[in-house]
């Protein structure tokens, strides 16, 4: 029994939600997002709240119940407030800058890495060692942040590389004499 799936998702103020069959559409001040629920769950809009229930008590239907409710909650939060992911760069000579819409990273390679910003995502560089990825789609924001981090992930000996803000790097001890 899903504990999170039982609770209906309240539609926030300033967001209009429509349910048409399995499709949930949310429009808000930041934009519009659509989520198509699996056929294993039923989606209903009643009393300014969206409720999700499984079609039957099969393991497949129950496993998609809580996920569908969370996805609907994420599209409501995305069109109202948006999502943000911060990255930090550590290392001598490691820095980031914006060139138009593209992100240019100096990460100790013989060349600069240029990351093309996808549609629907905005990247800001408040400091040369800080990157802020924002957007309305939570999955897309996390994917872009992961792709940027993948260029030079934090290494365990000195902690150099690109890491998420607040991420704790488990450090290793170096060689001993």
Domains 3-80 and 83-164 share a fold: yes
What pLDDT score does 6 carry?
Answer: 86
- CATH fold for the domain made of 83-164: Outer Surface Protein A; domain 3 (3.90.930)
Report how far apart, in Å, the C-alpha atoms of 55 and of each of 15, 47, 50 are: 27, 21, 16
Residue-range domain boundaries for the chain = 3-80, 83-164
What pLDDT score does 1 carry?
Answer: 65
What would the pLDDT profile of 150-160 be if each residue is shown by its tens digit?
A: 999 999 999 89
Classify 133 as helix, strand or coil: strand
Residue 12 has pLDDT above 80, yes or no: yes
What would the pLDDT profile of 73-132 be if each residue is shown by its tens digit?
A: 999 999 999 999 999 999 999 999 999 999 999 999 999 999 999 999 999 999 999 999
Lookup: tokens for 81: 């407030």
Q: Grade residue 25 by pLDDT with cuts at 50, 70 and 90.
A: very high
CATH of 3-80, one of 3.40.50.300, 3.20.20.70, 3.90.930.12, 3.30.1330.10: 3.90.930.12
Q: What is the DSSP letter of 94?
A: -
Q: How far apart are the first and last CA of the chain?
A: 57
What pLDDT score does 71 carry?
Answer: 94
């Amino acid at each position: 029994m899903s504990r999170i799936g039982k609770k209906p998702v309240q539609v926030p103020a300033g967001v209009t939600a429509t349910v048409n069959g399995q499709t949930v559409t949310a429009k808000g001040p930041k934009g519009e997002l659509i989520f198509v629920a699996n056929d294993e769950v039923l989606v209903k809009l009643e009393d300014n709240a969206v409720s999700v229930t499984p079609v039957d008590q099969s393991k497949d239907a129950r496993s998609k119940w809580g996920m569908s409710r969370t996805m609907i909650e994420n599209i409501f939060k995305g069109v109202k407030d948006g999502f943000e992911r911060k990255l930090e760069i550590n290392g001598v000579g490691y820095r980031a800058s914006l060139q138009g819409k593209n992100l240019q990273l100096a990460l100790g390679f013989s060349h600069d890495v240029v990351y093309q910003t996808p549609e629907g995502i905005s990247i800001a560089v408040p400091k040369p060692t800080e990157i802020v990825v924002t957007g309305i789609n939570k999955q897309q924001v996390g994917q872009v942040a992961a792709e940027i981090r993948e260029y030079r992930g934090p290494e365990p000996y000195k902690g150099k590389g690109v890491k998420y803000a607040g991420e704790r790097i488990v450090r290793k001890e170096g060689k001993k004499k």
